[in-house]
Structure 1
Amino acid sequence: MKYETLNQLIRKGKSQLAKGPIALIFVEDDVEIDSTIRHHIDLGFPKVVVFMPESFALAEDLAEQCLRVPMENARGENMRDAVNAVSEAANDQWIYYCFNSEYLFFPFCETRTVGEMMTFQTEERRDAMLTYVIDLYAGDLDASPNAVSLEGALLDRSGYYALARTDSDNHNHPKERQLNFFGGLRWRYEEHIPADKRKIDRISMFRAKPELKLGEDFTFTDEEYNTYACPWHNNLTAAVCSFRSAKALKSNPGSTFEVGDFRWHNSVTFDWHSRQLLDLGLMEPGQWF
């Protein structure tokens, strides 16, 4: 189904947002649009809303399964405004957001649905979920000059670390149960990445409530939403496997000629399976056995 504007979706399609979890996919370019949408439909999202330019094509079967909203620049403030608007309209529903050529993986996602995971999170009295954005990249840039290859995708098996997230309103003391995470291409090519864009943690899944706002750094105005675990035990985390950094590094004139090959000694083939991400410590099941 197609809506003319975001306001029309919220006004006339509010019933479409009455049942979650809801996936919001923001299309920045014409790379792997269909595969991104199919992946998230297969995870069990009852509603998938795609924000994309009118000029981009969408497979016929997907056009029937998702809600399409035109958006010429699906990033930055436009993207955040859309997430916040849907959050206001879909109060108490679980919402997930990502960009095209990004693929959500969570523990046991091959046999369990995203709805089952969100039910568990709710029972755990958690209203948000920390996800790590794990960089994917093509192993052969001659064959895939835009650095995107589903069949030949690689990821870094190590090089990830965390630093305390300080509170400027409290004498820069560390915030409770909050960390900034780093690694992947944003770490290896940090000279080409602005300092405020280098961290790889993102609160990609959250439970909507009034006046909740998503910020520029992918955290929320409610500080509890930004924590990696509750006070009493570890919680579920998930991974957003993303070609976004690789695409940017190869399309940006300032970095494209600096990158002849993303591969290094810690590159491994991506198996497109949650077991690999669990084994590498790139997400954890918490108490969800």
Structure 2
Amino acid sequence: MKFASLDQFLSEGKTALAKGPLALVFAEDPVELDTTIRHHLDAGFPQLALFAPDAFVLPAELEAKIHRIPYDVDTVEALVEAVNKVIAAAPGIWLYYCYNAEYLFHPFCETRNIREMLAFQTEERRDALLSYVVDLYADDLNDFPNAVSLERAHLDKSGYYALGRPDLSNNGYPKDRQLDFFGGLRWRFEEHIPVPRRKIDRIALFRTKPGLVLRPDFTLSDEEYNTYACPWHHNITTAIVSFRTAKALRSNAGSRFDIQDFKWHNSTPFTWHSQQLMDLGLMEPGQWF
């Protein structure tokens, strides 16, 4: 269904907002927009809303399966504003957001859908999941100048690390069960990445509630939502494999001519399988065996 505005979607999109889980896809450009939508529908999201300019064309059969809202995603703040409006309009549902050319993976997603995982997470009394945004990039920038190729996608198999997240309200002591994660292209080419955008963790899948607010650093106003695990054992984490950083580094004039290749000795082909992400420590099944 097509809506004239975000406000109309929030007032009339009862089907999407009533139950969830609801996926929000924000299109910064048309690159791999159709595959992004198909991936998340196949993952088991019963409802998906696309925020994109009208100029971005989709196949008719795909348009029929989604809710479409005209929207310019020109800044992170634009995404945050839209997500927060959806949170306020639809309390109590599981909500997910991502950009185009980003693909959510959860443990065992080849045989278990997103609704099954969220049912288990609910039984664990957890209202959010930590996602690692794992950079993907094409293996040859001469063949793929925008660094995007699903068939020849690569990722870094090492070079990831975490630092304690300081609590500025408590003399800078680390927050309980919260870490800032780094790695991938944002780490290897950090001189081209603003400091606030270097971390790769994102709370992208969570249960909405009254008063909850998404912040520009992709954390939420309820600090328990930002934890990687509960106090008593490990919990599920997810991964969002993403061409977004590679695309930005290739389109930005300040970095495009400084980077001839994204491949290095720790690059490996991405198999598009959850087991690879778990083997690399980029996703955690927790107690969900």
Give 1:14 shift.
2.3
Contact 1:19 1:46 in 2 (8 A): no
Contact 1:52 1:69 in 2 (8 A): yes
Contact 2:133 2:240 in 1 (8 A): yes
Counterparts of 1:256 and 1:266, CA distance in 2: 21
Counterparts of 1:82 and 1:23, CA distance in 2: 13
Counterparts of 2:157 and 2:175, CA distance in 1: 28
Alignment of 1:138 with 2:138, yes or no, is: yes
Match of 2:116 in 1: 116
Match of 1:288 in 2: 288
Give 1:74 shift.
5.1
Deviations 1:87-133 (A, max 9, x none): 11221100000000000001000000100111111110000000000
Q: Structure 1 vs Structure 2: percent identity of aligned residues?
A: 62
Match of 2:71 in 1: 71
Match of 1:7 in 2: 7
- Secondary structure of 2:58's partner? coil
Deviations 1:52-98 (A, max 9, x none): 00111011111000000000235422111111111112211000000
Counterparts of 2:260 and 2:226, CA distance in 1: 36
Superposed, 1:268-283 pairs within 5 Å as 268-283=268-283
Match of 2:259 in 1: 259
Alignment of 1:56 with 2:52, yes or no, is: no
Match of 1:198 in 2: 198
Superposed, 1:20-169 pairs within 5 Å as 20-73=20-73, 75-169=75-169
Counterparts of 2:73 and 2:130, CA distance in 1: 26
Counterparts of 1:14 and 1:179, CA distance in 2: 36
- Secondary structure of 2:179's partner? strand
Contact 1:44 1:113 in 2 (8 A): yes
- Structure 1: 5+ residue runs without aligned partners? none
TM-score (normalizing by structure 1): 0.99
Give 1:20 shift.
1.1
Match of 1:213 in 2: 213
Contact 1:136 1:243 in 2 (8 A): yes
Deviations 1:150-200 (A, max 9, x none): 000000000000000001111000000000000000000000000110000
Deviations 1:225-261 (A, max 9, x none): 0000000000000000000000000000000011101
- Structure 2: 5+ residue runs without aligned partners? none
Contact 2:44 2:114 in 1 (8 A): yes
Match of 1:187 in 2: 187
Give 1:16 shift.
2.4
Counterparts of 1:137 and 1:113, CA distance in 2: 26
Counterparts of 1:75 and 1:47, CA distance in 2: 24
Give 1:15 shift.
3.3
Contact 1:127 1:207 in 2 (8 A): yes
Structure 1 residue runs of 4 or more that deviate by more than 4 Å after TM superposition: none
Q: CA RMSD in A?
A: 0.7
Superposed, 1:221-260 pairs within 5 Å as 221-260=221-260
